[in-house]
Structure 1
Amino acid sequence: MNAGPVGVAVVGAGVISSHYLRHLSTFPDVRVLGVADLDTARAETAAREYGVPVAGTVDTVLTLPEVEIVVNLTIPSAHGAVALAALRAGKHVYGEKPLALDMDEAAKVTAEAANLNLLVGNAPDTFLGAGLQSAARALAAGLIGTPVAVTAALQSLGPESWHPNPEFLYQRGAGPLFDLGPYYLTALVALLGPAARVAASTRRARDHRVIGSGPKAGTAFPVEVPTHVNALIDFAGSASATTTFSFDSPVDRRMIEIIGTEGALSLPDPNTFDGPLLARGLHDAEWRELPVTGTTAGRGLGVLDMARSLRTGTPHRASGALALHVLEIMTAIGDAGEDGESRRLHTTSPTPPPLPQDWDPHAATLE
């Protein structure tokens, strides 16, 4: 087993990469050694900004012997191919969501990793933040009794108003379900355990969207996926969830509420790392705010947890098994929405253990 900080390379220097690079460069237990992109000039710009020594193509960073984890931030259609290339180069892989475009491709990734004795991790890692970790502790302490029902919603008019290149967010592997659904579904699986069955209804409001900002503002592009998704999810335990994922709503809504036998919890936006976290007893007239403790360091916590697990031999939390299960939930929702038939799920996922309350991303533990 190696010792010391874990070498990391980032593949994909798009919009999300700055969030990862900003945080990863502050964690002493990882060293960012390379940035790659199809546009090598963009990779070089990102490398200069964050003090990364190597920039270039994917092959360039995959041949760096000190790189142990490849952080795959490519567009969804490239997730599987880049992950497989990294694994075959002997690297562990942590990817942006979704794990792959479909279950067959994702199964190839996880099988290849198992055959090579390498790890797969996957976003989102927001469930490792203070807000959702505090919610997990509240549930484990029995604050609201046994969870019975969940209402979860992500509603907006879509990302084309602010994203300069939103086309891929309306292609296969994206849309509100695959782009933002993983935050909500990963949080629910982490808190409630694996899902067992889904039913769904899906719609697409418009066949084309228009870019609202940046150099391509005013450009129309096709919509390939449903933009309004309603799904019912039965978890293997006692709870069921009513969920909505929509890019068609003038009402902006981002919420998860869990009802239990003794009360209710209102969770923070699962696309964030902080609070607020609210609770309400069976006979309370108002919500009360609960203390939120833990890290709010931001994207990259899953990479760091995976890096530390490489050195300690303990399981990492934002795991390939969790990502594969969430992908099956989303795929089953999409299929159920097309034909109106409910789907039973075949994968499962271990419940990630909570982070220790003193877990500090900015403390050096691997020296």
Structure 2
Amino acid sequence: MTTLANHPELRLAGVWDRDPERLSAFARYWKVPAYASLDAVLADPAVTIIVNLTTPESHYVINRAALSAGKHVYCEKPLAMTVDEASELVELAAERGLVLAGAPANGLSDAQALCASLLASGTIGTPRLVYAEMEDGPVYKANWRSWRSRSGAQWPGVHEFEVGCTLEHAGYAASWLVSLFGPVAEVSAVSALTFPDKGPGTETLSLGPDFSVGCLTFRSGVTARVTCGLAAPRDRSLTVIGDKGTIVVRDLWDNRSPIHVEAFGTRRSLTHRGLDWLEWKLGRKLPVRLYPGTKVRYPKVSSAPALPAFPSQIDFVRGIAVQAEAIAGGEVPFFSGATARHLTEVVLALNGGWRDYRPLDL
């Protein structure tokens, strides 16, 4: 709702939630119409796109119902909880001439566009190796039960712990990787529940993985390591290493994240050299992190978009806007159809700790 203001070409017809109290509070705060039922949403001819923001376990059922009703769908990650269900949805959308698009929208950010342009211009030569971090810090140790949205909704921490951090967060890294380097040929991953005690009220729950690490081999020849977790210090960076230098994106959740480029063999900045000298002099590593290279400038914009507060500085509605524009022009948006299924496959493989998994042909 915060970023809907960035896209005046879209009109929100209304909202629905299976919890009447939650629905009433949301509709009242944001001053938007509320539907009486899901059937009422699907029967409304004014609705072109269903935006499915339900819990992951409900994605398949809601997506299928919407597509069967002739509606385009924009779904939160993942499309479904199994590869077969995701494939069924993609096939159903294709049969009915509908667009099934998927989140996350950070793959459409200004930062992604700038990084893509740097790679296309050969700034670091041929990319060879990538490190993608999606560590959100020890969230379970924070006072998460008190977290509220602007409309007063409680952050669903217990359910997030049940689903697991990989299904919730790995897509933010995977969307960048697939958009920059193409399809994944093979995934080999390990996932685990490393901290089973998430606090009072979670002792008897079946919790999902709070850590995963996977190696992705791309058809383009790039190799990437993706980590995802809820224990290590917060780090949502992306490091791309080419045969001529490196690109570092500080935060994949920041629409205009600082991006640093360093060419191999160039003289390092005075600050970097000074810190290196001081550490050698003291004989120890200092608690200071400097990003290599120089910060790249973004093109100037006439006005900055409305974004949520840190840490989720993403234009979440941009994905829906891109989908709507593609539908109007008779085109297919990148993060839809087989590509959306491909991302779902990759994330399911990381979450499940699948070894030597080869995604379906893309």
* TM-score, with structure 1 as normaliser: 0.80
CA-to-aligned-CA distance 1:185-237 (integer Å, 9 cap, x gap):
11111111111112122221133412xxxxxxx43252432221111111111
Cα distance, 1:49–1:98 mapped onto 2, change above 3 Å: same
Partner of 1:31: 11
CA-to-aligned-CA distance 1:72-95 (integer Å, 9 cap, x gap):
000000011001111111110001
SS in 1 for 2:209: coil
SS in 1 for 2:26: helix
Partner of 2:195: 206
2:42 counterpart of 1:62:
yes
Alignment match of 1:114 (pick from 87, 94, 99): 94
Partner of 1:76: 56
Alignment match of 1:330 (pick from 347, 354, 359): 347
Give the drift of 1:160.
6.8
- Given that residues 127 and 273 in structure 1 are in contact (C-alpha distance below 8 angstroms), is that contact kept between their aligned partners in structure 2? no
Letter in 1 for 2:248: S
CA-to-aligned-CA distance 1:134-186 (integer Å, 9 cap, x gap):
11111111111110000111222135732542122133xx3121110000011
Note the 1:60-209 alignment, pairs <5 A.
60-155=40-135, 156-158=137-139, 161=142, 162=144, 164-171=155-162, 174-209=163-198
Partner of 1:346: 360
SS in 2 for 1:34: coil
RMSD: 2.0
Q: Percent identity over the alignment?
A: 29
CA distance in 1, matches of 2:234, 2:265: 29
CA distance in 1, matches of 2:334, 2:139: 30
Which of the two has greater strand per residue?
1
Cα distance, 1:159–1:25 mapped onto 2, change above 3 Å: farther
Partner of 2:279: none
Letter in 1 for 2:321: L
Note the 1:148-297 alignment, pairs <5 A.
148-155=128-135, 156-158=137-139, 161=142, 162=144, 164-171=155-162, 174-210=163-199, 218-221=200-203, 222-249=205-232, 251-284=233-266, 285=268, 286-293=292-299, 296-297=305-306
Letter in 1 for 2:15: V
CA distance in 1, matches of 2:246, 2:140: 31
Unaligned runs of 5+ in 2: 148-154, 269-291, 307-314
- Given that residues 140 and 198 in structure 2 are in contact (C-alpha distance below 8 angstroms), is that contact kept between their aligned partners in structure 1? no
Number of aligned residue pairs: 315
CA distance in 1, matches of 2:39, 2:5: 22
Letter in 1 for 2:9: D
Give the drift of 1:307.
0.7
CA distance in 1, matches of 2:251, 2:206: 26
* TM-score, with structure 2 as normaliser: 0.82
CA distance in 2, matches of 1:269, 1:29: 29
CA distance in 2, matches of 1:72, 1:140: 34
Partner of 2:333: 316
SS in 1 for 2:48: strand
Structure whose CA Rg is larger: 2
